[in-house]
Amino acid sequence: MIRKIAFCLLALEMLFGFTACAGGTNTPVASATSPASPTLLLPTITPTLPPLAAIVNGEYILLSDFQAEMGRLKAAEEQLGQPLSDEERRQKVLDELIGQEILAQEAVHNGFELNAQELETRITQLSEEAGGKDVFATWMQANGYDAKTFPSLYKKAAAAAWQRNEILKALPEAVEQVHARQILVFSKALADKIYGQLQAGADFATLAFEYDPVTGGDLGWFPRGYLTQPDIETAAFSLQAGEYSQVIQTSFGFHLVQVLERADQRKLDPDAQQNYQHQALENWMREKRDGSKIEILAP
């Protein structure tokens, strides 16, 4: 209060040559014969923003959070023995933080709430699960967190996780799939020869086991977007049960594909389900990022 009064007195002395402050006992009152006192215009105080790494739809990602995450990723790389270049690390961290921000914003839009009491309860539970306050504090320090910033970071991560789960919950358990097998060779001349044999009536399975005695080239059941070679997948989904493709060239070699079974709705196997969910999240994020206003400020 003393500092406020002192500032007020100094400001009025500089502006008008007299000492007065609103609410004081000595404020001059304009009389009918004296000129009206001029209107006091106090300076507008503009808050200074902390350094930012990015702005996503008007929400800030702090540079300090970006730098801390860079440090955590670098430490993880050293433990795994898989170092990234500085630019790769920068891009990976930016993608992660921007993705988390978009998920968190969508979560709030869809009704996610985590009030102060609930947040405190969750963090207390984390601390207890870690082995107590001292152990938790040591963990935070070792991983670049502190008691001041951790709650807000945790809240955003919780919102992002909630939205991610909502996306996955909406995915169907059963989708269109095909069961296929292939013959893979490394010479086009040989692949053309095999195709000629098939055209002449040779059995696909017999030839498949000739070139892959262990599995007979069985690719199992898979949905769209599962195989690492899109051309193989495209060919498989264009065939009916019992049909086989022409020779297909990929980076692996030369393929002939036969579809054994098709199903419009079949439950995903665990591995295929994980891949399907990953693809769904990537597609969702790509669409949301394309519709977001993102400004990158990190050096």
Query: Can you give the CATH number for the domain in which 111 is found?
Result: 1.10.4030.10
Give SS3 for 109. Answer: helix
| pLDDT at 56 (0 to 100) | 98
217 class by beta-carbon count within 10 Å (0-12 exposed, 13-18 middle, 19+ buried):
buried
Integer angstrom CA distances of residue 270 from 195, 273, 281, 294: 34, 5, 17, 35
Among 120, 150, 170, the domain boundary falls at: 170
Q: Among residues 116, 138, 170, which one ends one of the domains?
A: 170
Cα angle 150, 156, 159; round to 5: 135
Q: What is the pLDDT of residue 9?
A: 31
Q: What is the pLDDT of residues 89-130, one digit of tens each?
A: 999 999 999 999 999 999 999 999 999 999 999 999 999 999
For residue 166, is it within any domain?
Answer: yes
User: In terms of domains, do 88 and 160 share one?
Assistant: yes
Burial class (CB in 10 A: 0-12, 13-18, 19+), 107: buried
Does residue 148 sit in the same domain as residue 72?
yes
Per-residue model confidence (pLDDT) at position 34: 46
* Distance, CA of 291 to CA of 299 (rounded, Å): 24
Do the domain assignments include residue 51? no
85 and 101 co-located in one domain: yes
| 114 is a domain residue | yes
Q: Which two tokens stand for residue 242?
A: 């019992």
CA distance 25 to 38: 19
CA separation for the pair 141, 242 (Å, rounded): 61
**pLDDT tens per residue across span 255-287:** 999 999 999 999 999 999 999 999 999 999 999
| Domain boundaries, position 141 | 58-170
Look at the chain and report how many structural domains it folds into. 2
H-state helical runs in the chain: 2-16, 63-80, 86-109, 116-130, 133-142, 150-169, 188-199, 204-211, 230-237, 270-290
Of 106, 135, 170, which one is at a domain's C-terminal end? 170
pLDDT along the chain (299 residues), means of 10: 35 34 40 49 68 96 95 92 94 97 98 95 94 92 90 95 97 97 98 98 98 97 94 97 98 97 96 94 97 96
Q: Assess whether 185 and 155 both reside in one domain.
A: no
- Residue 230 domain-assigned? yes
pLDDT of residue 48: 79
The reported pTM is: 0.75
Distance separating alpha carbons of residues 9 and 17, to the nearest angstrom: 10
On whether both 83 and 131 belong to a single domain, the answer is yes
What is the model's pLDDT at position 71?
94
Claim to verify: residue 189 and residue 161 sit in the same structural domain = no
The angle formed by the CA atoms of residues 155, 160 and 161, to the nearest 5 degrees, is 95
Same domain? 179 vs 165: no
